[in-house]
């Protein structure tokens, strides 16, 4: 049991990091649709660089740079060139996926460095919880940190309030003296760097090594998680862990019901759609009015300025 939960938490780490990055980007009003491509290309880059240098950390840095660079292209084309974010993001996804397959071909089957396990002294001795949460490695601890930091940033800081403003109603934020386009650019780059780290987390930690199918549509799932989570970091994280749990469960159930073993691995996807239907139901959307203190957590509204180009007329 402990081991199952431990592996759910560990396996969800890349998804957590990627969806936190995308939550930050989208909260500022930009959609980075290139997630799937970014993750694959950064996973490949991370592995290649770490393989050459012989050190995992360097791989993570390289991956963050790749993710940030792709995000910078999206941010510049949307903010500077006023192109459609969806179109650019989609094309970049396709490009990055192919690039990853092409450039990574020679690394398939190689063994590279990995992130070593790092149980936290004392904390990991706590019964059950210690084993589940604190007998992990740095990547998993980093995923915890991204959740807490994103939440704290959004809801407890001035820049965090401003980021919500530029995503919600850029013209109003601009009228208040917030530099909308500059901030959008940098938050998109920050989000992209986190997506890159998520890619590295795959090739250097969760799955080890590089092959084309390594990341299992993680990018698309992260995009869906942000919507499921109503752009709230805690709910996004909850969604990511639930998805991870479903995957582990489906995997383990394959032995129990061998007859339907083909079906089980895809079960999380329709379940996710059902979850979305539930979250967007009238009943759920009214919950926020009943519990005003939890309004942010329960709301499912997209930032109103999401995907809109802001121009100062």
Partner 1 sequence: MSLEIRDIYKHFGPVRASDGVSITIQEGSLHGILGENGAGKSTLMKILSGFYSADSGEVILNGDVLDLSSPADAIAAGIGMLHQDPLVFLPMTVLDNFALGSPGTVRLDRTEVRKELERVSSELGFEFDPSRLARSLTIGERQQLSITRLMWLGAKVLIFDEPTTGISATQRLQLFDTLRKLAEHGLIVLFVSHKLEEVEDLCDSVTVIRQGKVVYEAEMPVPAETLVEKMFGKVFVVQGREAVPLGQPVLRLANIDLKEDTTHLENLNLEVASGEVVGLAGLEGSGQRALLRACAGLLEPASGSLELDGVSLTKASYRGHLAAGVHYLPAGRLEEGLIEGISITEHLVLASDDSTFFIDWKAARKVAETEIEDYSIKGTPSSSAEDLSGGNQQRLLLSMIPDEVKLLLLEHPTRGLDVESAAYVWTRLLARRAEGTSVIFASADLDELLRYSDRIVVFFAGEVFAVRDASGTDGEELGYLIGGKERV
Binding positions for partner 1, rule: CB under 8 A = 156-162, 164-165, 168-169, 171-179, 292, 295, 299, 301, 304, 312-313
Q: Are 145 and 233 in contact (CB under 8 A)?
A: no
In the complex, the smallest distance separating the C-beta of residue 155 from partner 1, rounded to whole angstroms, is 9
d(CA 251, CA 117): 24
In the complex, the smallest distance separating the C-beta of residue 127 from partner 1, rounded to whole angstroms, is 35
At a CB cut-off of 8 Å and minimum separation 6, what does 109 contact?
A: 209, 211
In the complex, the smallest distance separating the C-beta of residue 26 from partner 1, rounded to whole angstroms, is 15
- End-to-end distance of the chain based on CA atoms, in angstroms? 59
State the DSSP H helix or E strand holding residue 124, giving kind and residue range, or none if neither. Answer: none
Q: Are 33 and 77 in contact (CB under 8 A)?
A: no
In the complex, the smallest distance separating the C-beta of residue 174 from partner 1, rounded to whole angstroms, is 6
Q: Are 74 and 134 in contact (CB under 8 A)?
A: no
Helices (H), 28-108: 35-53, 56-75, 85-104
d(CA 189, CA 78): 13
In the complex, the smallest distance separating the C-beta of residue 231 from partner 1, rounded to whole angstroms, is 10
Token readout for 214 is 């390594």
Which of residues 157 and 281 has its CB atom nearest to partner 1 in the complex?
157
In the complex, the smallest distance separating the C-beta of residue 162 from partner 1, rounded to whole angstroms, is 6
d(CA 140, CA 241): 12
Helices 56-75 and 85-104 meet at what angle, rounded to 10? 150
Which of residues 31 and 166 has its CB atom nearest to partner 1 in the complex?
166
């Amino acid at each position: 049991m402990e081991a199952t939960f431990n592996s759910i938490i560990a396996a969800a780490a890349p998804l957590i990091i990627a969806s936190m990055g995308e939550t930050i980007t989208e909260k500022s009003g930009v959609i980075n649709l290139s997630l799937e491509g970014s993750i694959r290309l950064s996973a490949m880059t991370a592995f290649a660089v770490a393989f050459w240098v012989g050190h995992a950390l360097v791989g993570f840095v390289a991956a963050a740079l790749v993710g940030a660079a792709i995000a910078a292209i999206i941010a510049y084309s949307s903010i500077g060139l006023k192109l459609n974010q969806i179109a650019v993001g989609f094309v970049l996804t396709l490009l990055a996926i192919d690039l990853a397959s092409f450039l990574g071909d020679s690394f398939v089957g190689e063994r590279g460095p990995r992130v070593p396990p790092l149980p936290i002294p004392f904390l990991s001795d706590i019964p059950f919880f210690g084993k589940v949460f604190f007998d992990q490695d740095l990547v998993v601890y980093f995923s915890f940190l991204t959740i807490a930091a994103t939440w704290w940033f959004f809801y407890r800081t001035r820049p965090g309030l401003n980021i919500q403003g530029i995503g919600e109603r850029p013209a109003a934020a601009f009228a208040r003296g917030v530099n909308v386009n500059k901030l959008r650019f940098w938050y998109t780059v920050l989000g992209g760097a986190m997506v890159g780290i998520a890619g590295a987390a795959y090739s250097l930690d969760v799955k080890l090594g590089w092959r084309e199918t390594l990341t299992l549509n993680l990018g698309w799932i992260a995009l869906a998680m942000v919507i499921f989570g109503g752009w709230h970091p805690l709910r996004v994280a909850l969604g990511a862990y639930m998805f991870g749990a479903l995957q582990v469960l489906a995997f383990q159930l394959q032995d129990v019901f061998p007859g339907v073993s083909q079906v089980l691995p895809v079960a999380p996807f329709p379940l996710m759609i059902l979850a979305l239907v539930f979250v967007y139901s009238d009943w759920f959307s009214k919950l926020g009015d009943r519990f005003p203190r939890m309004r942010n957590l329960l709301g499912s509204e997209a930032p109103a300025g999401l995907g809109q180009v802001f121009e100062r007329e």
